[in-house]
Amino acid sequence: MCGAVLISPRFVLTAAHCQDADRDFVVGPHTFDELEEREIPVVDRTIHPLYDSITYENDVAIFELEADAMIIDDSGEIVPAPYVKLSPDIIDLDGSEMTVIGFGDIDPDEKTTDFAEFLRRVDVEYVGNVACGRDHRGEITDSMMCAEAPGRDACYGDSGGPLLLTPSENFEEDGLVGIVSWGRGCADEDYPGVYTRISSYYDWIVENMCLLNMSKAPSYVDCYQILGLEPEPTEAPTMSPTSSPTKSPTTSPPVCRERGEPCVENADCCSDRCNVFSKTCFPPAATARSRLSSGRGGSAGGNDRRSGGRTNGRSRTGTLDDLSDEELSILQNSVTISHRERVGNLNDLP
């Protein structure tokens, strides 16, 4: 089983190592029993092309649903499901508080799996990459981040789920800063939980949502700008200019680089977006979707248990706390997705 999160009514973000968890997603339930219902099939997906099933680097994947996820609101109307906004914020302050939620294992016995009946949450504190790298044998890259709380942690089955900034009581202000990725056991004080760092993938995620289905990207994402396309034609002008220009246009050299040209940082590009991977201004002249999604179809499955005790393991002491009704109303729509599998019980492996 894996977690996941809606980043628009049509797109789901999860961990790349969850890619074979299931063929459909279950939207919005707060109890595990409801997981059987409200399944939405997946029609397309983009796994990060540099995902590494040994190191869990680039553990991020986007799935496109067959239809928008819908919920019934308080007045009984069917409306598009709320989704969480990707946060571009770079978390770097030790002790910063974040919230992780999921249906993962809550059984302290390492040999049995007991998925939570209700969606659970725990607040965890940021641990810097240097300290976390020391704990995790130098295996923490810049695009991972770590968090911990005494006796509390994400655990088996929470993978793919969200790590959130929750600045207010209003879930609409939540920001997605991480994806549950891996750890050594669960809630072990020596080993913080490890998350995919969203700020490292912000550009990749929005660009690939646009490439999968630009009409279904969230409203704060401008796919025309991101893909370097002409804006959709608006109404033709009805009046012709009243006077001819007095000056002819000057031909000073461009101060910014056009799409496809090499760049070092966003400011180099006319689009103000430098692709962090290709180091070219957004997007390359002929953006080939097949090239960008070349990692598709690989399998993480359940057989990629890392060596040396590093696991997507099982709860030792405690995992996520039950959400109270009040907390549920805050977080109910921050995580509206969970998806199931039976392939990845790493503790069953030899």
Which residues have a catalytic role annotated? Answer: 17, 59, 159
At its nearest, how many Å lie between ligand 4AZ and the CB of residue 29? 18
Positions 90 through 109 that interact with ligand 4AZ (CB under 6 A): 104
Positions 41 through 100 that interact with ligand 4AZ (CB under 6 A): none
Cβ-based nearer residue to ligand 4AZ, 186 or 206: 186
Cβ-based nearer residue to ligand 4AZ, 9 or 313: 313
Contacting residue, 144, 155, 221, 335, with ligand 4AZ by CB under 6 A: 155
63 contact partners, CB below 8 Å, separation of at least 6: 4, 11, 12, 13, 14, 25, 42, 44, 45
C-alpha to C-alpha distance for 252 and 272, rounded to whole angstroms: 19
CA 15 to chain centre: 7
* C-alpha count within 13 angstroms, C-beta hemisphere, residue 13: 34
What are the φ/ψ torsions at residue 15 (nearest 5 degrees)? -85, 145
Positions 268 through 307 that interact with ligand 4AZ (CB under 6 A): none
Reduce the DSSP state of residue 133 to 3 states and report it. Answer: helix
Classify the C-alpha dihedral 148-150-151-152 as positive or negative: negative
- Could you tell me whether strands 85-86 and 175-182 are parallel, antiparallel, or unpaired per DSSP bridges? parallel
Cβ-based nearer residue to ligand 4AZ, 113 or 271: 113
At its nearest, how many Å lie between ligand 4AZ and the CB of residue 186? 4
Reduce the DSSP state of residue 223 to 3 states and report it. Answer: helix
Q: Does 122 engage in binding with ligand 4AZ (CB under 6 A)?
A: no
Cβ-based nearer residue to ligand 4AZ, 148 or 327: 148
At its nearest, how many Å lie between ligand 4AZ and the CB of residue 213? 28
C-alpha to C-alpha distance for 266 and 272, rounded to whole angstroms: 5
Cβ-based nearer residue to ligand 4AZ, 175 or 313: 313
At its nearest, how many Å lie between ligand 4AZ and the CB of residue 50? 21
Contacting residue, 81, 140, 154, 212, with ligand 4AZ by CB under 6 A: 154
Binding flags for ligand 4AZ, 172-211, as an x/- string (CB under 6 A)? --------x-xx--x------x------------------
What residue type is assigned to position 75 of the chain?
A: S
User: Which one, of 127, 146, 104, 119, lies nearest residue 318 by Cα?
Assistant: 104
User: What residue ranges bind ligand 4AZ (CB under 6 A)?
Assistant: 104, 153-159, 180, 182-183, 186, 193, 312-313
